[in-house]
Structure 1
Amino acid sequence: MKKILTLAFILFTLSLQAQNTEGVVYFTRTTYWTKMNNQLTYLSKQEKEKLTYMFAGKDDWKVYTLLYFNENESKYVNSDEKTDESEGYAWRKEEYIVNRNFAKNTMTDVFEILGKTYIIEDSLQVPNWKILNDIKEVAGHICMKAMVEDTIKKQKIIAWFAQDIMSNAGPERLWGLPGLILELDINDGTVMIEASKIEFKKLNQEMALPKKLKGKKLNEKAYQEMTDKFIKEKIKEEMNPYWSIRY
Structure 2
Amino acid sequence: MKKIVYVSFLVVSGFINAQNFQGVAVYESKTSTSDITSNFRGNREITPEMQKQIEQNMKAMFEKTFVLTFDKTASTYAEEEKIEAPGQQNGMRFMSSMMGGGGTHYKNVKDKVFLIDREFAGKEFLIKDSLPKLDWKLTGETKQIGNYMCFKATALRPVSQSDFRNFRRKKEEGKKEEVQAEDKKEDRNTNFMDQWEMPKEIEVIAWYSPDIPVNQGPENYWGLPGLILEVSDGKTVILCSKIVINPKKKKEIKAPKKGTIVTQGAYDKIVAEKMEEWREMGRNGGGFRISR
TM-score by length of 1: 0.71
Residue 251 (structure 2) aligned to one of 205, 212, 219? 205
- The CA distance in 1 between the partners of 2:135 and 2:271, in whole Å, is 20
The 1:229–1:132 alpha-carbon spacing in structure 2 relative to 1, beyond 3 Å, is farther
- The CA distance in 2 between the partners of 1:28 and 1:157, in whole Å, is 17
Any gaps of 5 or more consecutive residues in structure 1? Answer: 1-8, 39-44, 239-247
| Structure 2 match to 1:72 | 73
Query: 1:26-67 CA distances to partner (integer Å, 9 max, x unpaired)?
Result: 1111122115667xxxxxx679957x9736876644211100
TM-score by length of 2: 0.61
* Counterpart secondary structure, 1:16: helix
Any gaps of 5 or more consecutive residues in structure 2? Answer: 90-95, 160-197, 284-292
- The CA distance in 2 between the partners of 1:138 and 1:104, in whole Å, is 30
The 1:226–1:30 alpha-carbon spacing in structure 2 relative to 1, beyond 3 Å, is same
What are the within-5 Å matches in structure 2 for residues 12-27 of structure 1?
A: 13-19=9-15, 22-27=22-27
| Aligned residue identity for 1:114 | A
* Counterpart secondary structure, 2:11: helix
The 1:216–1:57 alpha-carbon spacing in structure 2 relative to 1, beyond 3 Å, is closer
| Structure 2 match to 1:138 | 145
Report if the CA contact (8 A) 2:114-2:220 is conserved. Answer: no
Report if the CA contact (8 A) 1:168-1:177 is conserved. Answer: yes
| Structure 2 match to 1:63 | 64
| Structure 1 match to 2:104 | 97
Report if the CA contact (8 A) 1:74-1:101 is conserved. Answer: yes
What are the within-5 Å matches in structure 2 for residues 89-168 of structure 1?
A: 89-90=87-88, 94-152=101-159, 153-154=198-199, 155-168=202-215
Report if the CA contact (8 A) 1:95-1:117 is conserved. Answer: no
Alpha-carbon offset, residue 17 of structure 1: 2.4
The 1:161–1:36 alpha-carbon spacing in structure 2 relative to 1, beyond 3 Å, is farther
% identical aligned pairs: 24
- The CA distance in 1 between the partners of 2:230 and 2:8, in whole Å, is 27
- The CA distance in 1 between the partners of 2:41 and 2:113, in whole Å, is 40
Query: 1:145-172 CA distances to partner (integer Å, 9 max, x unpaired)?
Result: 1223343353322111111112111112
Report if the CA contact (8 A) 2:208-2:228 is conserved. Answer: yes
